[in-house]
Structure 1
Amino acid sequence: MTGDTQSWRRAAPASPVTLDDVARRAGVSLATASRALGEHPHVAAATRARVREAAEALDYVASPEAARLAGGPTGRVAVLVPHPSRWFFGELIEGLEAALRAADLDLVLFRVGGPEERAAFFDRLPARRKVDAVVVLAVAVDDAEHARLASLGVDVVVAGGRVAPYPSVGIDDHGAGRQAMDHLLHLGHRRIGLIAVDDDARASAWRTALADAGIEPEDELATTVAWGGEGGAEGMARLLGLRTPPTAVFAHDDETALGAIRTLRRAGLRVPEDLSVIGVDDHPLAALTDLTTVAQPVREQGRRAGELVAAALRGDLQEPLAEVLPTRLVLRGTTSPPGAPR
């Protein structure tokens, strides 16, 4: 009796092999393994063969859920965007759409600017699974939302920032901030104000650049405002209200910088003779208004994200990667040494 029991225990089957096991053995994502076994047309032949070999080696039997995930391709990519009307996001979408169109994929836009819109997307899309991939445009994803995205069984790519653990395309925001700050410091400015939109990498660059130059960052010189021109105008008014205003201002972005310049001109101050201003982006209005800025390749970020999606659907994207595109200082007419003559 005892021997029979021990024999039975030795012969007991192991835990069922899952699609996750196959994906790990083949060295691909769960979504790629699902598509490879489901005859998805965008999967590369070599990847499909590798996944099939892994499935055979593990004696994998597809479950109903795996079969659902491996259903036919939709040819659609969901794009999560918080503010589609803003220039930055519009540029990202332009580049993304062009790359997806070249890969025979359609873009489906989901606005997730507010809590209700975000909840609607993350609650409903997993049950429907009407897309082959998801692109997140500069949106932070919390743990619950990450779990929802994982439940889709599709590839996720991020553009305009970085959200772990997904492949992403963006810029070094801290580096861009340092380019702006180092320019002002090289001109001789020591009392430099900050108009921030958030306590982000660009705001951090303001502090570290001052500290590296041996200047103690003063809290009164940093103000946080709502994004855009009106926020920039308000932030500049606060800085002008200081007993000793700054001689230069680093604004989070060009639109915020232009709002700051409006306040300066209404106050009868000259730019850059009385106060220098620099932004980030190289918004089309920056060239028209002669704004000194740090340019970032926004449309290129969208295009590269679209190419990453196409590569992921073919099974050619083996590991998550963070691609960082370069920024560059664009010298125009809103910065000069402090107290420069007209």
Structure 2
Amino acid sequence: MPGIDAVAALAGVSTATVSRALSGNGHVSPTTRVRVHEAARTLGYVVSSPASSLASGRTKNVGVVVPFLSRWFYSSVLEGAGSALLQNGYDLTLYGLTGGADERSSVFEHFLLRKRVDAVLALTIELTTGELQSLLDLKKPIVGIGGPLAGVQTLSIDDVGVALLATEHLLSLGHRRVGMIGGESGFELDFHLPTNRRAGYERALRSAGVVPDPRLFMPADFTIRGGYEAATALLADPERRPTALFAASDEMAIGSILAARDLGLSVPGDVSIIGIDGHEHSEFFGLTTVAQFPERQGAHAVEMLMDQLHPGRRDPTPTNIPLPVELIARTSTAPPRT
């Protein structure tokens, strides 16, 4: 098999540059990095992982801790993170926390402490003091997505702000009887998302002179089925039916559209519906949404990890970075019928 000298000759660079480009250690310009990778691919040259790890003291592996594996948001963040890690020459080890407290303890007390990763990415998990200290004791780069973690760089959206934006959109169309499908109490475990989004919804109503009606709020579990069941309960009674629904996730909003149609209601003629996420199927359903771009979140988090792993690569970034969102108006929202 061709060696590093052959790759350097074909790419027109030094062997040291080849080593930096393929290992991800040290500065190499983007164009040179691409040229080196193309030369290595042409020659069939593959870096020996054990040898590279022994030489650098690194595993070229990032551990990603995620609470759910089957939900669209998390899989989208993982897709963005995985693609960015691949571009930087890193592998990904996934630690799912779907098995309950014992599994969660094993991840933080055993698996991550084996130090088989160079860095850790935590997706929308509000860590306990002990869990956070375990990660900090690793002396490894850590980035969180979803909310602030003491001593850790994080990315997050303003959950109060996105709910405010979504509800204000409905109010701006002339709706005054606005319902909400929010999160169940179990989702309070991580950054209080249900409470924050309900707070944004109620703040928007009060600012518009509308007193929030608790009968127009229904909790659900952030799934299409959960949204369907909650919307059915809110929309079934024509006497107290809202003219608009704000769902705290696109999946619940999609479920709400299906429920409305099964009840013989027109969307948006009889009820306007808006969600949050920018789900891949939101355009198909004509869903108005506040997009939060989860793939970009994953890629951005990886770049922050790379900055920690390779200091000096870019200018330092703030500890907690607010993420951009965008209101995308489609056909599921319109002024109420007069």
Please identify the structure whose Cα radius of gyration is greater.
Answer: 1
Q: CA deviation at 1:286?
A: 0.7
Matches within 5 A, 1:1-342: 42=25, 72-113=57-98, 114-198=100-184, 199-241=194-236, 243-316=239-312, 321-339=319-337
Contact 2:24–2:89 (CA under 8 A) maintained in structure 1: no
The question of whether the paired residues in 2 share the 8 Å contact of 1:160 and 1:301 is answered with no
Q: Identity, % of aligned pairs? A: 37
* Paired residue secondary structure (1:249): strand
Secondary structure of residue in 2 paired with 1:214: coil
Cα distance per residue 1:109-150 (max 9 Å; x no partner): 110123232111012135411111100011111112112212
CA drift of 1:319 comes to 6.8
Matches of 1:126 and 1:185, distance apart in 2: 47
CA-CA distance at 1:325 after TM superposition: 2.3
Q: Output the CA distance in 2 between the equivalents of 1:156 and 1:200.
A: 26
The separation in 2 between residues aligned to 1:326 and 1:287, in whole angstroms, is: 19
Question: What TM-score do you get using the length of structure 1 for normalisation?
Answer: 0.75
Q: Which runs of 5+ in 1 are unaligned?
A: 1-39, 45-70
Q: Which has the higher mean CA deviation after the structures are superposed, 252-261 or 199-208? A: 199-208
For 1:194, the aligned partner's letter is M
Deviations 1:67-91 (A, max 9, x none): xxxx921111100011122221111
Q: Deviations over 1:277-335 (max 9, x none)?
A: 00011212111111111111211111110000000012348675212221111111111
Q: Contact between 1:157 and 1:168, CA under 8 Å: does it hold in 2?
A: yes
Alpha-carbon separation, structure 2, partners of 1:275 and 1:281:
20
Matched pairs, number: 275
- Maintained 8 Å contact 1:135/1:158: yes
3-state DSSP of counterpart to 1:147: helix
Q: CA-to-partner distance for each residue in 1:227-276, whole Å, 9 max, x for gaps?
A: 20111011112212554121100001111001111111111111111111
Question: Residue 164 of structure 1 aligns to a residue in which SS?
Answer: coil
Contact persistence 1:253–1:279 (CA under 8 A): yes
Task: Tell me the residue number matched to 2:6.
Answer: none
Instruction: Write the distance in 1 (CA, Å) between the matches of 2:202 and 2:308.
Output: 38
Output the CA distance in 2 between the equivalents of 1:73 and 1:103.
14
**Residue 305 and residue 41 in structure 1: after superposition, are their counterparts in 2 closer, same or farther (change >3 A)?**
closer
User: Following TM superposition, by how much is the alpha carbon of 1:338 offset from its aligned partner in structure 2, in angstroms?
Assistant: 1.0
Contact kept in structure 2, 1:166 and 1:320, CA below 8 Å: no
Does structure 2 conserve the Cα–Cα contact (< 8 Å) formed by 1:122 and 1:145?
yes
Aligned-residue offset at 1:172: 2.1
What secondary structure does 1:336 align onto?
coil
SS of corresponding position for 1:285: coil
Gaps in structure 2 of 5+ consecutive residues:
1-22, 28-55, 185-193
Partners of 1:176 and 1:327 within 8 A in 2: yes
| Distance across 2 between alignment mates of 1:303 and 1:273 | 39
Q: Which amino acid aligns with 2:154?
A: S
Coordinate RMSD, CA, aligned = 2.1
Q: Is the 8 A contact 2:236 2:263 kept in 1?
A: no
Q: Residues 82 and 139 of structure 1 are in contact (CA less than 8 Å); yes or no, is this contact kept in structure 2?
A: yes
Aligned mates of 2:254, 2:294 — CA distance in 1: 19
Give the TM-score normalised by structure 2. Answer: 0.76
The code of the aligned residue for 2:232 comes to: A
